[in-house]
Amino acid sequence: MTPAEEDQLLVDAIAIAMDIREDLAQAHRTIASLDRLRLEQVAAALAAMVDPNLPLHVTAWWRALPGAREAA
């Protein structure tokens, strides 16, 4: 993968992360449109963005949002 392709992968992963926060339906549509290879690449990029040294309650920040339990 070239540096430009890596940059585009990160941009795509960030766009999905932003959609998950702002427009969940769009995130679902984007994810559904990816072929298997791209889905694996995006999943790996998103996983690499997670700091495994943080406690779960910090990493799972969305659990603290109002109404998060009811929406789950």
pLDDT digits (tens, 9 = 90+) for 23-61: 989 999 999 999 999 999 999 999 999 999 999 989 888
User: Which range marks the domain in which residue 17 is found?
Assistant: 3-71
Q: Which of 41, 61, 42 is nearest to 51 (CA)?
A: 61
Q: Do residues 1 and 9 touch, judged by C-beta distance below 8 A?
A: yes
The crossing angle, in degrees rounded to 10, of helices 3-22 and 24-33 is: 140
Q: How far is CA 66 from the centre of its chain?
A: 21
- Number of domain units in the chain: 1
Give the list of residues 6+ apart from residue 10 with CB closer than 8 angstroms, or none: 45
The type of residue at 62 is: W
- pLDDT band, residue 71 (cuts 50/70/90): low
Classify residue 55 by its DSSP letter.
-
